[in-house]
Chain A
Amino acid sequence: SQQGEEDPQALSIQEGENATMNCSYKTSINNLQWYRQNSGRGLVHLILIRSNEREKHSGRLRVTLDTSKKSSSLLITASRAADTASYFCATDAQGTYKYIFGTGTRLKVLA
């Protein structure tokens, strides 16, 4: 199975600290996406990184991709209480256009 795994499963930090979440996957991919989901709500697209990219930034978000290790990380800098959510990575295997989601990291930012 291509299912990704995310680590840690849960993370609790203080407001202002940085949060780092990692995602590992099993097969070669075209793209990797990070999503955020507030409890029971929809999935919000954060960043897409292509397999030929190594790093991407968007505001306080920084995503890295290491295809040799089949892993990605999402860094949220200067976290805020409003960043509290679950964060998922999703990958599409080469030759397919479906995304397989990782197990998610539940981030809690304490005010």
Chain B
Amino acid sequence: AAGVIQSPRHLIKEKRETATLKCYPIPRHDTVYWYQQGPGQDPQFLISFYEKMQSDKGSIPDRFSAQQFSDYHSELNMSSLELGDSALYFCASSLALRGLAADNEQFFGPGTRLTVL
């Protein structure tokens, strides 16, 4: 079965540079979520999109922005990178079926490991 695809898998950037992470959800999933996991930490929710609209916002820095496109893929844009942004960035997708008794079962991609030097 198709899974969530993230690209790139690894990314190395210098401080103050920008980075764009991409996420391709499982086909027919309408909701995308972004999480950040620092070394030795639990994943922290950043932001989510449902049907191309932002649905929930977590601890996402103002330097980061994200969007979901008409084909449901999503991009996380990160500017003015800092050393502390080095982390694993996960994307997850689900079929939210809002208004119905839905599972909202989230499936995660393999993650993008961002290293800021």
Contacts and interface: CB of A to CB of B under 8 A. Distances in A.
Interface of A: 30-31, 33, 35, 40-45, 48, 50, 88, 90, 92, 96-104
A40 B88 contact: yes
Contact of A104 (B42, B103, B109): B42
A49 to B, nearest CB: 10
Interface stretch (B12-20, B43-51, B65-73, B75-83): B43-51
A30 B104 contact: yes
A48 B56 contact: no
Contact of B105 (A40, A48, A100): A48
B64 to A, nearest CB: 15
Contact of A33 (B48, B105, B113): B105
B116 interface: no
A100 B31 contact: no
B110 to A, nearest CB: 4
Contacts of A104: 42
A98 B56 contact: yes
A4 to B, nearest CB: 9
Main secondary structure of the interface of A (DSSP, over half): strand
Interface in B69-117: 88, 90, 92, 94, 96, 98, 103-111, 113
Given A31-B103, A43-B108, A101 B43 contact: yes
Contacts of A45: 105-108
Given A100-B45, A102-B42, A42 B104 contact: no
Contacts of B111: 41-43
B42 A99 contact: no
B33 interface: yes
**Which of B50, B90, B106, B108 has the most chain A CB within a 10 Å cutoff?**
B106
A98 B33 contact: yes
A98 B48 contact: yes
A98 B58 contact: yes
Interface in B21-45: 31, 33, 35, 42-45
Nearest to B6: A42
